[in-house]
Structure 1
Amino acid sequence: MGQVAWLKVVDVNHLGAFVDWGLSKDLFIPFAEQQHPLRPGSFTLVKIYLDNQGRPAGSTRIDHWIEDTATDLSIGQEVSLLIAEQTDLGFKAVINHQFWGLLYSNELYRRVRKGQIVTGYIQRIRDDGKIDLTLNQPGFSESKIEALAREIENTLHANSGFLALNDKSPPPEIYAAFGVSKKVFKQAVGALYKAQKITIESGGLRSTDSAPESGA
């Protein structure tokens, strides 16, 4: 009760719609609580509530139930996210069944889909109270950055000093190669660049010490 779930519509009649919520009796969604007309076989986000007579019911008017601004949330906090819909900037998600937040597409290192439940973190709370989200666990330690930098160096040396990835590469490609987010990859690349161990080219990274040293 009180949760938001991704549920399948199993029937629609003159009273409203019914969705499968895992119990023997399907959950009723009145027409007045439908954001858009529902059809059997489709999936929809549903807020589960008690009606005026104390009976469980559902609503797809999610904006009426979910807050736009943060209350009792802190930066870095681990939260449960239900992916709601894609926007021009990324994906809207319901945080802990209570708040709206946004995952930015350019920070996503793996695919997400509508209705999926994932673990996320509060990245920032803006001045207007709206919430930016991330799938990256905060506090990625310096030692882990150093370990990733070494892994990048080893990969460069194993590929004649060149790696066809850089800080402009798509997050899924970075994740497929090293299993980390683009943000973490950029930190390791930045460390290598500052140490003058690599140069950054339009097509990737090149090692500055790939040539063999001359003997004394």
Structure 2
Amino acid sequence: MKELGLISNLTINRFTDFGAYLALSDGGEVLLPKGYLKGEEKEGDEVEVFVYTDSEDRPVAVTQKPLALLDDFAVLEAKEVTKFGAFMDWGLPKDLFVPKGEMAKNMEVGQKYLIRVCADFKSNRLIGVSKYRDFIDPAPKYYEPGYEVEGLIFEKTELGYKVLLEDRYEGLIYANEVFQPLEIGSNRKLWVKKRREDGKLDLQLLPVGRVKYDEGSEKILSLLEEKGFLPLHDKSDPAEIQAVLGMSKKHFKQCIGQLFKARQIVLSPEGISVNRD
């Protein structure tokens, strides 16, 4: 069944008390349960659906879209872990099962992991695979320092944050170069710092060549580049500055003075914004 794991526009063949049967490309049919029908459909209409298998491994169509399609990667949260494998939340009524043999490491409930959706042709169902390196290639040589990329942040380690690029290349943002919280599962604009001999990439949050400041100033500037504005100023309460930036008011004033002198920020009575001039 070539529709398995994909979004497809399928034609309604007929209706039953349970829902509508949709035509598959191989001549078969798949059920779209009644709960997914609006009540205004008729035979011959096309419906956009995702096809996977239900709890009894029978093909079923739903109008919901999962967080990842067949052969795609996504960062998913483990909802249940058993001795046979883990069940991941991918936005559908039936969780995505990661067999024990397809785990890169033991999983814990509530933690997020990089998962690739694959077809298990023995059982004709979709499964998750966390052994992501089986699908990773060396980055091409045009990934040179300064090259701008979009990356999926998928794991935090002692070294830093692991990043997936284009669903096939791996990169790392070093922990000592991160001055703001990075959310696992978020997509970020990044820049290549170095392409290593093994084809893996060292990445950074700032464009290559941009002047670096001390750690506190970097933290402020990184937050401003993300949010555009911070409602903090030299009259702000020290406790508020501590809560937002994790620094003293004295250090904060030193940092914004450095950034203002370098024409990186604009100061106003309401707060700080990035200087776009």
Give TM-score scaled by structure 1 length: 0.58
The CA distance in 1 between the partners of 2:83 and 2:174, in whole Å, is 40
For residue 23 of structure 1, give the secondary structure of its aligned residue in structure 2: coil
Match status 1:168 vs 2:237: no
For residue 120 of structure 1, give the secondary structure of its aligned residue in structure 2: strand
The CA distance in 1 between the partners of 2:106 and 2:194, in whole Å, is 35
For residue 74 of structure 1, give the secondary structure of its aligned residue in structure 2: coil
1:96-111 correspondence to structure 2 within 5 Å: 96-111=166-181
The CA distance in 2 between the partners of 1:2 and 1:61, in whole Å, is 13
Q: How many residues align?
A: 159
Give the direction of change, closer, same or farther, for the CA distance of 1:180–1:2 in structure 2 (3 Å limit).
Answer: same
| Deviations 1:51-76 (CA, angstroms, capped at 9, x unpaired) | 23453210122233333x21375334
Give the RMSD, CA atoms, in angstroms: 3.3
The CA distance in 2 between the partners of 1:85 and 1:169, in whole Å, is 23
2:201 to 131, 142, 158: 131
1:33-48 correspondence to structure 2 within 5 Å: 33-48=102-117
Give the direction of change, closer, same or farther, for the CA distance of 1:101–1:175 in structure 2 (3 Å limit).
Answer: closer
Shift in Å, 1:118: 1.7
2:133 to 63, 66, 87: 63
Aligned to 1:7: 76
Of 117-126 and 91-100, the range deviating more from structure 2: 117-126
| Deviations 1:160-183 (CA, angstroms, capped at 9, x unpaired) | xxxxxx94334214445xx369xx
Larger strand fraction of residues: 2
Shift in Å, 1:132: 1.4
User: For residue 117 of structure 2, what is the amino acid of its counterpart?
Assistant: I
For residue 47 of structure 1, give the secondary structure of its aligned residue in structure 2: strand
The CA distance in 2 between the partners of 1:41 and 1:86, in whole Å, is 15
User: For residue 93 of structure 1, what is the amino acid of its counterpart?
Assistant: V
For residue 219 of structure 2, give the secondary structure of its aligned residue in structure 1: helix
| Deviations 1:120-141 (CA, angstroms, capped at 9, x unpaired) | 232332344221112224587x
Give the direction of change, closer, same or farther, for the CA distance of 1:79–1:41 in structure 2 (3 Å limit).
Answer: same
The CA distance in 2 between the partners of 1:91 and 1:74, in whole Å, is 19
Q: Percent identity, aligned pairs only?
A: 30
| Deviations 1:89-124 (CA, angstroms, capped at 9, x unpaired) | 422211122111011234334321333322223233
| Alignment check: 8 A CA contact 1:2 1:97 kept | no
User: For residue 115 of structure 1, what is the amino acid of its counterpart?
Assistant: G
Aligned to 1:190: none
For residue 112 of structure 1, give the secondary structure of its aligned residue in structure 2: coil
User: For residue 20 of structure 1, what is the amino acid of its counterpart?
Assistant: D
The CA distance in 2 between the partners of 1:56 and 1:107, in whole Å, is 38
The CA distance in 1 between the partners of 2:107 and 2:199, in whole Å, is 32
| Alignment check: 8 A CA contact 2:141 2:195 kept | no
Give the direction of change, closer, same or farther, for the CA distance of 1:126–1:21 in structure 2 (3 Å limit).
Answer: same
Give the direction of change, closer, same or farther, for the CA distance of 1:112–1:35 in structure 2 (3 Å limit).
Answer: same
The CA distance in 1 between the partners of 2:183 and 2:125, in whole Å, is 31
Larger helix fraction of residues: 1
RCO higher in structure (CA 8 A, sep ≥6):
1
User: For residue 172 of structure 1, what is the amino acid of its counterpart?
Assistant: K
Which structure 2 segments of 5+ residues have no match?
Answer: 1-69, 227-253, 262-277
1:93 to 144, 159, 163: 163
| Alignment check: 8 A CA contact 1:20 1:26 kept | yes
The CA distance in 1 between the partners of 2:177 and 2:107, in whole Å, is 33
The CA distance in 2 between the partners of 1:62 and 1:111, in whole Å, is 24
